Amino acid sequence: MKLRKNLLEVIKDLKTNEDFKENIVHWQVIEAKEAKHVPFPKAMNDKIKHALETRGINGLYTHQATAFDTAVSGNSLVAVTPTASGKTLCYNLPVLQKILEDEKTRALYIFPTKALSYDQKSELNEMIHEMDAEINSYTYDGDTPSNIRQKIRQAGHIVITNPDMLHSGILPHHTKWVSLFENLKYVVIDELHIYRGVFGSHTANVIRRLKRICNFYGSDPVFICTSATINNPKELAEELTEKQMVLIDNNGAPSGKKHFVFY
């Protein structure tokens, strides 16, 4: 049996080879989809536009533009699009926009794992560098050295953490985080679909504590949630945050042709 050179050859073989084709009971094809682009929102800061253009991005996908407009207008949202569809920009763009408008602005990013938080921090810092802006983003978790924790509490525009560290390292010590809680404009919850079952109920209680502390310091942040495709994203986001959510699922990202073969 010769080695397959590419996927098209495998597909052809499955359809024509007598050893395979009789065992295929169903073959479903989902055609490729082209990207749906829209121009940059007029309200978007020129530094953000420049950073995006530096990356070869000359417009936004429809869901990214809708998320930007929704968040900057002060409405909480949950963005639900497939993997690798650019959900990161759904929260980075409005957060960076708000910080450029008011340098006192603070944002809190919550990721379920450290690995995810480090990946996102790297991408965020690259964009900040391309913007040539004085914006500080820091990861605050169990590995954060004690000698820079005070700097993060006082000068971190964007604090990246996880539910456990928020519960044990930030909320109980809120008097040290006055700068964050007084000026907290956005709370980002990525990978929303992970917060289910016992882990989800624990996280929901942590979010309730976060909101009570924000209320104590006079802030009422907008929540931006992102999720992989699930059946009830709006319901889950509203249960987790106890906030009215705008559902954004007008995916504008392109996708390749897909074959679903039941063998």
pLDDT in tens, 31-71: 999 999 999 999 999 999 999 999 999 999 999 999 999 99
pLDDT digits (tens, 9 = 90+) for 69-119: 999 999 999 999 988 888 999 999 999 999 999 999 999 999 998 888 888
pLDDT mean across residues, the chain = 93
Does 154 or 205 have the greater pLDDT score?
Answer: 205
3-state class of 145 per DSSP? Answer: coil
Domains defined along the chain, listed by start? 37-257 (3.40.50.300)
What's the confidence (pLDDT) of residue 1? 46
pLDDT digits (tens, 9 = 90+) for 203-215: 999 999 999 999 9
Cα 43 to its chain centre, rounded Å, is 21
| Distance in angstroms (rounded) separating the CA atoms of residues 240 and 199 | 11
**Helix spans in 105-166 (H):** 114-131, 146-155, 163-165
Do the Cβ atoms of 205 and 242 come closer than 8 Å?
Answer: no
